[in-house]
Amino acid sequence: MRVLMVMSRLIVGGAETVALELARALKRRGCYVSIASVRGGGGRRDEFARASAVVHDDLAANRFDLTAAARIARIIRRERIESVIVVDALRNGTLFTALGALMSGRRVSRICWCHSIPGGQAGRFVKWLGWYVSAGLLDAVVCVSDFQRREIISAGLAPSGVSVIPNGVDLSRFANPAETDLPLPADKHIIVQVANVVPDKDFETLISAAARLAKTRDDFHLVLVGEGTDSPKIARDVEHASAGEVITLAGRREDVPGILTEADVLVLSTKTESFGIAVLEGMAAGTAVVVSDVGAFEDLLTHEREGLKVPPGDADALAGAIGRLLDDEPLRRQMGAAGRKRAEDFTTERMADEFGRLLADS
């Protein structure tokens, strides 16, 4: 099988992390994997280069550059591509890819691997997906959770051809990870959130929860990991909440597995989510988790078993759940062990197996 994966940029994000794992797994299975990014740059370009046969950068000069379709057509012809996977519901990326597949003159299956929720930061993309499907420009849409599929269908996409392949994680990355060189206070409980600073990730509520906890205890430290967490805006938010002494703004890190294994609690305070790969990584590391009670987590973890769920946007509830885990080491260990066991159902190999069957049938 010869596969082209198209994405916006090769950045450190949830969808890109899973796409990188899928590329590696398909390559291990003997597939030819080529990567194309609509826009150049991104902190994961070198990793994608190692995981694939070739990386094609800067397909489009701007979002309306339809010559990108011609570039994709040339890639498909030259590399004899059989299947194209568009990573996430990229309006123009999907259009460039669909048109390029048609222009190539080859019989190519076209799949949109959607990681977005309707109405979130991705905007109103469902009508575009529906148009691509009805026009015969897409053969299949793959969702990452049952909740996401329901939301997309409720927003107007016909259910035919819409399947679910849950995201997966490489468990070996968390078995014996390299130690992190991030300075972490040895005498404090470590709380970590791994998320890029985007509108749907509710950093305001988490920072507020940390400030509330700091008023009653001094035995914890919160570490914010992800693109933009070391930005001036987040620094101002932390300062405004008077939480600077209990929060480290770590920015983008390459040693997340090591950080997670050092953590006592992983948090994901979010307004909406399609899957939550950072939560799965925390579970794979054996870390107890606290998450917003949004639909994406209904199949991933059970409240009071692998972790705790709190209402989205409720800083008091979030602070209370974190405090409960900090005060109860046996509960933390129990939930961490249950989470590690549950993560075994969401492996990269299982995800690659399901994609392999889909590609073979396309």
Domain 2-168+347-361 and domain 172-343, same fold? Reply is yes
Parse the chain into domains and list their residue ranges.
2-168+347-361, 172-343
Residue 91: the pLDDT is 65
Mean predicted confidence (pLDDT) in 79-90: 90
Amino acid sitting at position 28: R
CATH fold group of domain 172-343: Rossmann fold (3.40.50)
Q: Is 261 helix (H, G, I), strand (E, B) or coil?
A: helix
Tell me: the pLDDT tens digits for 23-45? 999 999 999 999 999 887 778 89
- DSSP tag of 159: S
Residue with tokens 């899973």: 18
Q: Residue 355: is its pLDDT beyond 90?
A: yes
Residue 163: the pLDDT is 96
Lowest mean pLDDT among 91-105, 119-133, 347-361: 119-133
Mean predicted confidence (pLDDT) in 185-193: 95
Q: With contact defined as beta carbons under 8 Å apart, do 362 and 140 qualify?
A: yes
Residue 124: the pLDDT is 80
Tell me: the pLDDT tens digits for 141-173? 999 999 999 999 999 999 999 999 999 999 999
Tell me: the pLDDT tens digits for 311-327? 999 999 999 999 999 99
Tell me: the pLDDT tens digits for 225-255? 999 999 999 999 999 999 999 999 999 998 9
CATH fold group of domain 2-168+347-361: Rossmann fold (3.40.50)
- DSSP tag of 169: B
* Nearest-angstrom CA–CA distance, 269 and 137: 36
Q: Residue 122: is its pLDDT beyond 80?
A: no
Mean predicted confidence (pLDDT) in 51-61: 90
* Nearest-angstrom CA–CA distance, 73 and 75: 5
Residue with tokens 């015969």: 136
Tell me: the pLDDT tens digits for 276-318? 999 999 999 999 999 999 999 998 999 999 999 999 999 999 9
Determine which helix (DSSP H) or strand (DSSP E) holds 134, and give its type and residue range: helix 126-134
CA atoms within 13 A of residue 340's CA, in its CB half-sphere: 15
* Nearest-angstrom CA–CA distance, 206 and 276: 16
Mean predicted confidence (pLDDT) in 74-89: 94
Going from the C-alpha of 269 to that of each of 24, 198, 202, 203, the distances in angstroms are 30, 12, 6, 7
Higher pLDDT, 58 or 107: 107
* Nearest-angstrom CA–CA distance, 37 and 42: 10
Q: What percent of the chain has pLDDT over 90?
A: 81
Tell me: the pLDDT tens digits for 206-220? 999 999 999 999 999
